[in-house]
Structure 1
């Protein structure tokens, strides 16, 4: 029996990320080799070709007004989206396509287009880790999940940055055709069906902006200067000459966290930097103020969902991959 055709419309625009289009498109194209029947249509607002972030021109099949109804609509992102208002014509086109689609999905900063189109109001969503705070501020009713690789809320999907579009496309493929076909596609493309850990493991820091309050800035400086010292709530409060209760209120008011969680984040960021510099996990734990490797491992599990050793293997060098280049089928039970 021939597979049921599934129409996919991709809304493209100038300066869009090329991989946001090509990554999911390769997943669907590869799926067709294993028995699916995805039919991709490239749509722009005007019907004219667009130029991508790498300078290549992408031909377009139709304009948004003439486009048929699609079962799936994909909206890629672009580097310029978070820093300027979304073009009204682009958001309106996204709204028209989405209203007639079975499901709509954004890749990376494409979430800003869906947000401008009113398609994420009151919904859970994500975007590239660099822009989750801005997305949340721009759309207060949206519940942004900053660590998610992708988020499904009803028939609306959003994904993290760039390559997360491949993760999202695999998830859509599994919904349509089940895990066996999806596993074949993942193996063929040499990617994982589901990577372990969220996108925080790719971020530069978990601390966020430096505190504005002088007392909190002083605490940050003290912890960074001597992370292994006693930074308990009572000790910190005594050093800055406020009560523990008042210090806790200050952290809640400005940083929406507790003093102890903030101390752990500073130590955690220092441990990440030490691992990136080539220190062993045990050394990183000691130098960053964790009492043991086990306590560091638990912190990594909480924040990133991976162990310190696995984090280091992923981000210290690319050379380790050359030793296993002959392996073409990753273990799909565990993240890359």
Structure 2
């Protein structure tokens, strides 16, 4: 019998193991009756440019089953790419992967990017005219790199015709449910979720509770924090932020002082500095580029604040041994 859903899985160098494993295990549960793990209703194979095994960001290695030269796109419905940890490095793979990806797209195969794989598709010109979803940590970087593309915020995944993008993490499981549901029906798509200890599948627009502060922090602070994250790259004033919430700046500051012991402006600055430090450790972007991504005026201004907050220069922060500079985090979501 011909499977309802036929996929080629392409892990990129330094790919994240969590979305990769979650996606494949959801396919496995739905691919057969009971729990026999046969590829009857869904089929998939691991693709590589060549036969060289691909290492994940955690060091686990995946064996390649099909090379680019062996791929028969007539037998594939979806090509699913799992992105590498470093977005810029993933985008830099474009010269090596462009031919393969364009060949699949030309054959009518739907291209699916999970996590930072969207950077590769965009660099290859394969997301033109399509909406894009990716991990919230990389939204600002993606906007800076590809300002003409439309980023959908606060979504787990987006199915936009022949292009599908997913934020990564456990959202890959929800995406797998959506793809299986379309091909084989909802009942088969939900099969095995209990075995995976997943309570329910989430809609693409599901709001992550982990990005909220919890009920004890109050709705105003929750909403303000979400807006701060959304406007991280914008040079928006606290007054403008308060106006979006329908309250005064004084009221907003009172809420933040009650919950965090600091003003809304101080909290937003801390959020920006934590993101800047994370980008320094996880990208090769210049300090000027990172300053733009986190809404700071310029590299010098950001550098001054980084030194004041973490006790060392931006250059020192980039050295793994000095990642924390002896200064603890403030838990900013």
For the aligned pair, the TM-score class normalised by the smaller chain equals 0.5 to 0.7
CA drift at 1:81: 2.1
- The one-character-per-residue Cα deviations of 1:46-81 (angstroms, maximum 9, x if unpaired) are 231111111111100122232111111100111112
CA drift at 1:108: 1.0
Q: Does the Cα contact within 8 Å between 1:64 and 1:97 map onto a contact in 2?
A: no
Aligned to 2:28: 29
CA drift at 1:171: 0.5
1:116 paired with 2:123, answer yes
CA drift at 1:90: 2.5
1:73 paired with 2:56, answer no
Q: Does the Cα contact within 8 Å between 1:129 and 1:200 map onto a contact in 2?
A: no
Consecutive unaligned residues of structure 2, counting only runs of 5 or more, are: 35-39, 214-224, 265-333
Q: Does the Cα contact within 8 Å between 2:129 and 2:149 map onto a contact in 1?
A: yes
Aligned to 1:64: 68
Return closer, same or farther for 1:152/1:9 CA change in 2, 3 Å cut-off: same
Task: Output the CA distance in 1 between the equivalents of 2:45 and 2:121.
Answer: 19
Task: Output the CA distance in 1 between the equivalents of 2:211 and 2:87.
Answer: 21
Return closer, same or farther for 1:145/1:83 CA change in 2, 3 Å cut-off: same
Return closer, same or farther for 1:201/1:261 CA change in 2, 3 Å cut-off: farther
Return closer, same or farther for 1:178/1:201 CA change in 2, 3 Å cut-off: same
Partner residue of 2:167 out of 160, 169, 172? 160
Task: Output the CA distance in 1 between the equivalents of 2:54 and 2:248.
Answer: 42
- The one-character-per-residue Cα deviations of 1:288-314 (angstroms, maximum 9, x if unpaired) are 99xxxxxxxxxxxxxxxxxxxxxxxxx
- The one-character-per-residue Cα deviations of 1:123-148 (angstroms, maximum 9, x if unpaired) are 11110001112222322332110211
Aligned to 2:206: 197
Aligned to 1:17: 16
Task: Output the CA distance in 1 between the equivalents of 2:253 and 2:157.
Answer: 24
Which secondary structure state, in structure 1, belongs to the residue aligned with residue 45 of structure 2?
A: strand
Which secondary structure state, in structure 2, belongs to the residue aligned with residue 119 of structure 1?
A: coil
Match runs of 1:117-196 below 5 Å: 117-191=124-198, 192-194=200-202
Return closer, same or farther for 1:50/1:123 CA change in 2, 3 Å cut-off: same
Return closer, same or farther for 1:4/1:50 CA change in 2, 3 Å cut-off: closer
CA drift at 1:42: 0.8
Which secondary structure state, in structure 1, belongs to the residue aligned with residue 126 of structure 2?
A: coil
Task: Output the CA distance in 1 between the equivalents of 2:113 and 2:253.
Answer: 30
How many pairs align? 239
1:261 paired with 2:269, answer no
Q: Does the Cα contact within 8 Å between 1:147 and 1:200 map onto a contact in 2?
A: no
Q: Taking structure 2 as the reference length, what is the TM-score of the superposition?
A: 0.61
